[in-house]
Structures are given as structure tokens and as C-alpha cells.
Structure 1
């Protein structure tokens, strides 16, 4: 038969209190951590759904629940439950299984899009992260910044109208600038224009564009356009793209007569023994990287030539203003020159 022991009972009591404290203490208790984490996950799912619906609607496409389940990386049951919550909260509506943003849902979606694009602009202008990392890092931050923090970030960046890909950044009131131009495959041969936007989704196509080293802000001339390929010249180089890849480039045609001089090229194309004058730095070079190049003497009118060729191919050393400076090929590709 069990014999009551006051010392054992007291020990069990304090252990129980300790366990309950660990589980339920305010803010840091396991119960609250798990509960808040669930709420956080729910918030992320809601915001990702809103953003997807915004992009679908902006591109003129309809989306149903089945499509949404395919494009989002969440548990299907979780998405279904969150859709019910969003409907109750008047963020979305449905018509014959087609999901639509309500006015409140669109306003919320614009706030998420604004944070994402501002953060990409910050990463491009203020950090050394490569462009391959911008999107994923912005995806994480878009769920964390408050309204006031977002406005502070915008002010810190000078309230930019476009992100580094050329996508418009919504203002705090929801106003959006217009992207100037049309998709590259729609341009006839001999059109001259400027690249104003590079779509970064889907990722597989964006990576192909990055691999081609195509720069936003570059002047181009279309030389071939058919169902098989789009060919254009820009900055002394020829680019050949499949139409599906070219469709991710928006180009603004230039109405007035513009002459693309044959001897204007990228510094990366300069050969040993050749010399050139710098005519500018591509808009692709931003923030600290751009300022560093200017500080090193890569300014308009400066004379430059190769000082030392790396037998391994990268980097090469360039002689400018009496100083030998090593640049990687991707850095040199952002400096525009006019060969002598």
C-alpha cells in the first residue's frame, strides 16, 4: 500500500511547478513558442498566397485552388485551411473555384510586394550579395518588416520607384509606376531599344539570362526574330535567346535615330595590346561596387589597356591612370569602353 511521504510529495509538487513554468511561462514558454510559431507560419502562408494571387491577376491569368497547391511549397491541408481563414477575413473570394483578391486582399498583397522589392533594392545597392541571392533573401524578409520599418527602409533608399530588376515598387499608398516597354519577342528586326525590365521568375529562365550576362539599362539592336530564336547586339556582343527566355526581357523602343557604334564594347572584351577610353559604367553596377570603381579611376574619358593577362583567364590586370588594377570578368563586363 502506498505510504504518504511529505518530502516526496513536496518534491513532486516543485517538479510539477517547474515543468508547468517551462511549458507555460509568458512569451518564452514552450506552449507559447509553439503557438506563436504556428501563427507565424500561418501568416507566411497567407502572405505567400496573397502575393501569388497578385502576380497571377497582374499577368491576366486566372488561378484556382489546384494551381495554387502546385505553386506553393506548403502542406496542401494547411493551404486549404488558410484559404478558409482568408475567405472569412475577406481577403479573397471565389467564383466557380477561381480565386480572386478582394480590395482588402489586394492592399495587403501590395504591402508584401513593396517589402520584397525594397529589400531587393537594398541588397543590390547596399550589400555585396550576388544577384542570384536577392530574391531568396527578400522572400525571407518580406514577412518580417513592420509598416514603419518598411517606410524607414524606403526613405533610406531614397524612395525608389523600381527594384533592381526593373519591377515597380508600390508606394506606401499603393501607387505603382508603369514599366516602359514590351516583351523582346514583340520587337521587329532593326528595332533599337533599352532593356527596362528583367523578370526573375521562373528561376530556371532567370538563371539563363544571368548566364548570358545581359544587363538592365543596356541599349540593344534586334537583328533576328523568329519562332526559333531572338538575336540582338548590345555593347559589342551578340546574344542569342530562345523566345521563351527572351520574353522575360522588357525593352523600350527608342523612337529617335540612335547609332550604336561598332567599337563600343565591354571592358571584358578588350584584348592584349588594345587600348580604349572608358565611356561609362553599366547600371548593372550599383552601390558600393560602383563607387569603388569610380574611386579607382574608372571614369568617363579615362584611357585603359590590359597590363597583365592571367594565364588562368580571370582576373586580368588593367592599367588605368598609371595604376594596375585587377578585375574579374564579370566586373569588367560592367564597364563600357570605346576602342581606339
Structure 2
């Protein structure tokens, strides 16, 4: 008969006890952590579903199982389970396969949207996070930030009414400022419009629109429309947009007939020997970079000259009052001037 040393038996017993504790310790064991992760994942899906339904209702569209599944990247079977859970919590109504939010569901959705848009505003104004990453970062935070933290963040930023894309930020009691306008693809030929909002999803289309020079506050003119899209004038160029891309841009139709399609000059266009007067820092210049430029004295009315050009053109040194400031080309392009 095999004899086991009491010391070894005690060690085995100790290892088994420690393993059981690490697996099942209340609140901290691996099993409980796994269950909590599942619950968190499920909560994220519930909140994403509420946001999607709210967004569709806000556009006078009817959300479906397929639209939810496509937007959230899960199967329709999983969406069916989420719908059942939403209904059991009285967050949605189901009437002849039509999905709509209850008042409680709308309040819940607005809380998530408020956090998302506040965090995008924070990233835009207080950090150096790239613009194309604002949305993805806010998607993470919206599911973890408390309402108390959101209220404190809002107060710290002066209770902004709109996020950097032009979307209204819901108030703490669920009120939303109305933004009236037309989608760019619904505006007629030869109309001059001002951009109110650019939808930041999907990222590929948002990136395309930004690369073409479209941003909140920009004035453009519709030259012509067709089934495939439209042609617009801005910054001395004529640009083609697809109908899908144009449908992501909300605009205000301006009551004026004169539109000068001329590229604005920026500090990057300044040559040695020329003096430029600052008109404005472009709306796309935000956060830490905007504050840095303002601290250098680069404000409307300030006169700037080129002190030294890099042989490779980047960076260049500029003289602002009595201070030499080095700026990269992409930074100088954010400063509109008149020569």
C-alpha cells in the first residue's frame, strides 16, 4: 500500500483549498469575475440597443432585428434575447413587430448618449486625442461612467450644449436641444449652406468628409446633383460626394446668393518677407493645440511673419510679436490669415 507523507498530503490539501478559494471566493473569485464580465457585456449590448432604437426613432425610422444586429455586430438570435430582456424591464414596447422605446427606455438611452457626447467634448477640448478616435474612446466610457461623474465633468467644462460634431448634449434631466436643418443630399442646386453637423459613424465616411475639408461651421455651395451624388464648391475646389456621404451632413440653408469659391490662406501659405494678420484659428483646431497657439499670442488681429524656413518646409519658425515660435505645417494650416 502506497503511503503518502503527511507533509505532502497537507500541501495538496492546501493547494486544493487555495484553488477553490481563487475560483469561488465571493465577489473576487475567477468564477464571480467571469459572471460579472458576462453581466457587463450583456449590459453593454442592452445600452447599445437602446441607443440604436433612439437614433432610429429620432430619424423617423423603424428599428428592426436586422438593423440592430448589423449595427451591433451580433446575430439576430442574440438580438432576440436582448429584445426580450428590454421588454421585461419595460424599456421598449413591441406592437406587431414594431420596436419603440418607452419613456423609461428613452431616459436610459439619453443618459448613455449624454455621457458619450460629453466625453467626446472632453477629448476634443482637454486632450490631444486624435479626432478620428473620439468616438471609439467615448464608446468605451459611456458604459462605465456614472451619472454623478458625468454631471461633474459637464460642470467642469461649463455645461456644453453641443459636442464637437454638432450633436446636442442631453441635459442631466433628459432634455435635448433641437437642431433644425436639412441633410446635404436633400438640398437643391445652387444653394449655399453652412454645415451644422457631420455624423461620425461610420468612421470611414467621416474620415473621407474631413479629408475633403468639410467641418462644422464650413460654408459650401451645391453645384449640381445626380443619382450618384452631388458636386459641391469649397476652398477654391469642386468636390464630388456620394449620396451616402452627403446623407451624413446636416446643413442650414443660407439666404444669400453670393459665394466666392476661393481657398482661404493659412499661415502655411506665408512666404519669407510677407506679414500675415490672423483672422481666426479654424474650428478644427481644438484642445491642447488651440490653447498652445493662443498662449503664443496667435489670436485674431495678431501679425505674424516667417522668421526661418526649414529646407524641407517642416517645421518653420515664425515671429509673433517678439517671440520666435516653431510650428509644423499641419499646425500652421489651422491658422487662417490675410496677407
| Match status 1:207 vs 2:207 | yes
Q: Give the TM-score, by structure 1 length.
A: 0.87
Say if 2:108 is the partner of 1:108.
yes
Residues 142 and 30 from structure 1, CA distance in 2 versus in 1: closer, same or farther, beyond 3 angstroms? same
1:46 Cα deviation after fit = 0.6
* Alpha-carbon distance between aligned partners in 1 of 2:73 and 2:313, rounded to the nearest angstrom: 41
In the alignment, is residue 170 of structure 1 matched against residue 170 of structure 2?
Answer: yes
Match of 2:232 in 1: 231
Aligned-pair CA distance for 1:71: 1.9
After the TM superposition, which of the residue ranges 28-37 and 82-91 deviates more from structure 2?
Answer: 82-91
> Match of 1:226, SS?
strand
Report which stretch shifted further, 299-308 or 259-268: 259-268
Partner of 2:158: 158
Q: Give the TM-score, by structure 2 length.
A: 0.88
**What is the alpha-carbon distance in structure 1 between the residues aligned to residue 212 and residue 261 of structure 2?**
21
Q: What does 1:9-24 align with in structure 2 at a 5 Å threshold?
A: 10-24=10-24
Deviation of 1:166 after TM superposition, in Å, equals 0.3
Aligned residues of 1:183 and 1:249 also touching (Cα < 8 A): yes
Against the structure 1 CA distance between its residues 41 and 261, is the aligned structure 2 distance closer, same or farther, given a 3 Å change threshold? closer
**SS of residue paired to 2:265:** strand
In structure 2, the partner of 1:268 is 268
Aligned to 2:146: 146
Pair 1:240-2:242 in alignment? no
Partners of 2:173 and 2:332 lie apart in 1 by 40
Deviation of 1:103 (Å) = 1.6
Instruction: Measure, in 1, the Cα distance between the counterparts of 2:123 and 2:238.
Output: 27
Superposed, 1:44-123 pairs within 5 Å as 44-74=44-74, 76-123=76-123
Number of corresponding residues: 336
2:325 paired with 1:301 = no
Q: Deviations over 1:283-315 (max 9, x none)?
A: 222232222111212122222233444443433
The more displaced of 174-183 and 261-270 is 261-270
CA distance in 2, matches of 1:190, 1:153: 43
Q: Distance in 2 between matches of 1:304 and 1:196?
A: 31
Alpha-carbon RMSD across the aligned residues, in angstroms, is 2.8
In structure 2, the gaps of 5 or more residues are: none
SS of the counterpart of 2:73?
coil
**Deviation by residue 1:135-176 (Cα, 9 ceiling, x = unmatched):** 000000000001111111111111111000000000011111
Paired residue secondary structure (1:201): coil
Deviations 1:217-267 (A, max 9, x none): 23x241513224332235xx4351314223322222344788869685333
CA contact (8 A) 2:184 2:250 kept: yes
Q: Distance in 1 between matches of 2:334 and 2:108?
A: 37
Secondary structure of the 1:242 match is strand
Cα 1:212–1:328 change in 2 (3 A) is farther
More off after superposition, 282-291 vs 45-54: 282-291
Kindly indicate whether residue 224 of structure 2 is the aligned counterpart of residue 222 of structure 1.
no
